[in-house]
Structure 1
Amino acid sequence: MAGKIDAHLAKLGIEIPAATAPAANYVPYVKTGNLVFVSGQVPFVDGKLTYQGKVGKDFTTEEGMACARVCALNILSQVKDACGGDLDKVVRCVKLSGFVNCTDGFGEQPKVVNGASDLMVEVFGDKGRHARFAVGTNALPMNVAVEVDAVFEIS
């Protein structure tokens, strides 16, 4: 029955943004079999890029977590599009990959990427628990602080 996840999102006060077009020569997601591979999502809010800079210099760990959450909301928008608007088709979040644009010596990448992981569990419960990696890097496209991609299993 469609709508359980949407009702849960409304109860949580979470609004999924409209899916955005890719910024270069790629597609926002690929469906193959029962898997959806979501391209890396960056912190676009209302069509505007946010959180540009480095975690550990321009942003605190907590602000980095908020940035990762924005990326995760954008992931959900792509998954929703891939599911024809029905997030009830999500069987589980399989994997998240998190990239953190950070200063040398910064070591809290896992905590930053928890901003995305926590949202998946908040939205999907146990179906939101996933495998993951969190990596620090010296630069990301458009100087964003965080980029996250994902793999979902759908019905």
Structure 2
Amino acid sequence: MSIHARIAELGITLPEPAKPVASYVSYVRSGEQIFISGQLSNDANGGIKGTVGVDVTPEQAAEAARLCGVNLLAQINAAVDGDLDRVVRIVKLGGFVQAGPDFEAIPAVINGCSDLMVQVFGDAGKHSRSAVGVYKLPLGFAVEVDAVIEVK
């Protein structure tokens, strides 16, 4: 099954890739790797904003991380000219959670994105990662995730 077919089977419609909001590019290819800039928990409805553990529940935060994953898929799709079957492996995800002072379940939040990568790419979606709680994220979004992808 093609990756696009798998995405459709999961009920996902890829959005237009987000444009950079500052002085950077959405992705950079270096050799067989693509470095995807951080994708926020944004969607057509405005996304999920707020502080996890304060005004965003852990469940909402995991959904926010999944939104980041969908946005990563859109950027990856753009980087490989629409041929997601060129993805060899999701190498690494870097997850950032706008966390309240008592919220410690950062890895569980980022599982929302990690699990999506495995659902879409199977074993090639298994990756290394970091999961970090931060004071603030751009534009008030709850979660941001960046990625390193190996392609052929």
Partner residue of 1:15? 13
Find the counterpart in structure 2 of residue 75 from structure 1: 72
SS at match of 2:15: coil
Unaligned ranges ≥5, structure 1: none
Kindly tell me the number of residue pairs found equivalent between the two proteins.
152
Identity of aligned residues (%): 49
Please give the per-residue CA displacement for 1:17-72, whole angstroms capped at 9, x wherever unaligned: 111211111000000100000000002212x5321110001111110000000011
- Residue 120 (structure 2) pairs with residue 123 (structure 1): yes
SS in 1 for 2:61: helix
Structure 2 portions without partners, runs of 5+: none
Residue identity in the other structure for 1:17: P
Map of 2:2 onto structure 1: 4
Question: 1:43 is matched with which residue: 26, 33, 41?
Answer: 41
Query: After superposition, what is the alpha-carbon deviation per residue over 1:93-133, rounded to whole angstroms, capped at 9, x for unaligned?
Result: 00000000011121100000000000000000000000001
Indicate whether 1:145 and 2:132 are aligned.
no
Q: Which of 126-135 and 13-22 deviates more?
A: 13-22
Aligned residue for 1:103?
100
Normalised to the residue count of structure 1, the TM-score between the two structures is 0.95
Q: RMSD value over aligned CA atoms? A: 1.1
Extract structure 1 runs of 4+ deviating beyond 3 A: none
- Tell me how far apart the structure 2 counterparts of residues 28 and 74 of structure 1 sit (CA, whole Å): 11
> Is 1:57 aligned to residue 54 of structure 2?
yes
Contact 2:90/2:149 (CA < 8 Å) preserved in 1?
A: yes
Indicate whether 1:85 and 2:82 are aligned: yes
